[in-house]
Structures are given as structure tokens and as C-alpha cells.
Amino acid sequence: MMYDIEPELYTVIATRLREKYGDSFNVVNKAMAKPSQFPAVAIAENGSMAYSRTLNSKRRHTQSSWTVEIHSNDEFEGRYQCKEIAASIDEVMIEHNFVESFGEFVASVDAGVTRRVHRYTAIVSESGMMFRR
């Protein structure tokens, strides 16, 4: 059985952001099209796939893929705010041996909202240890 890193990773990111931006900072562990409160961060595990197996086909390591979406409705500083929040999230992901594979501004459903998306991957062992690849 593979170790589930989602609760731990979500908690670390949410705690770090709330320490920096306040307890009411909106962080959710699922994708969201239109946040109810800004700024907002959505953290979601995209999925995982076997990275290595034992001779009897038991998973030893899994490649875990994550998407982080940052939303800001600040009319003048939205891009800066998204970049600043992304830098805080990058710190956490690097500490947990994730590698960023994508990071850029993307079109938002709402015209007044700035949206930035980042994707990360890491290799996770059956004991929960995370490795860069």
C-alpha cells in the first residue's frame, strides 16, 4: 500500500500561507473555477502512477503529480500577488522534494480575476519519503 501524502502536503502549504497572509486565507484541497473569497489557492493531486515495482509487481515508488491554482481579484496588484503566493508555495514544494514542471498565468473564468497555475511532480516511496527526479 502506498503512503498518502495529500493530507500532509495540504496541511503544510495551508499552514504556511495562513501564517504569512492571515488565518482567513482561502486554501482548498480541490480544483475550483470561481473562489468565494480572494486571494485563494486550490491544491489538488492530479494522480499518481507506478514509478518502480518489485519483482512480484508490488509498487515501491509512485510518481505523484500536483496542480496548484492561485486566484487574485486585486485589480492593480493581481499578478504580483499571485507571484508572491506562488513563491511561498514553491518553498514548501522544494522542501518536500517536488520539481516544478509548469508555472504561468492562464485565462480565468472571471474577467476580474488573475489566475496562475503551477504543476509539480515528485517520486514517493511506500514509506512516504519524497524524492526529486
Domains of the chain, earliest start first = 6-131 (3.30.70.1700)
Instruction: Please tell me the pTM assigned to this model.
Output: 0.84
Question: pLDDT-based confidence at 1, cuts 50/70/90?
Answer: very low
**43-64: per-residue pLDDT in tens?**
998 877 666 555 566 666 778 8
Distance CA 72, CA 114 (A): 5
**Burial classification of residue 106, based on how many CB atoms lie within 10 Å of its CB (0-12 exposed, 13-18 middle, 19 or more buried):** exposed
* pLDDT over threshold 50, residue 38: yes
Which 8-state DSSP code applies to residue 131? Answer: E
**pLDDT tens column, 61-113:** 778 889 999 999 998 999 999 999 999 999 999 999 999 999 999 988 888 89
Say what angle helices 78-95 and 6-21 make with each other, to 10 degrees: 130
Quote the pLDDT of residue 105: 95
Cα atoms found within 13 Å of the Cα of residue 21, Cβ hemisphere only: 21
Phi, psi of 5 (to 5 degrees): -90, -10
What local confidence, expressed as pLDDT, does residue 130 receive?
Answer: 63
In the block, cell 499571485 appears at 82
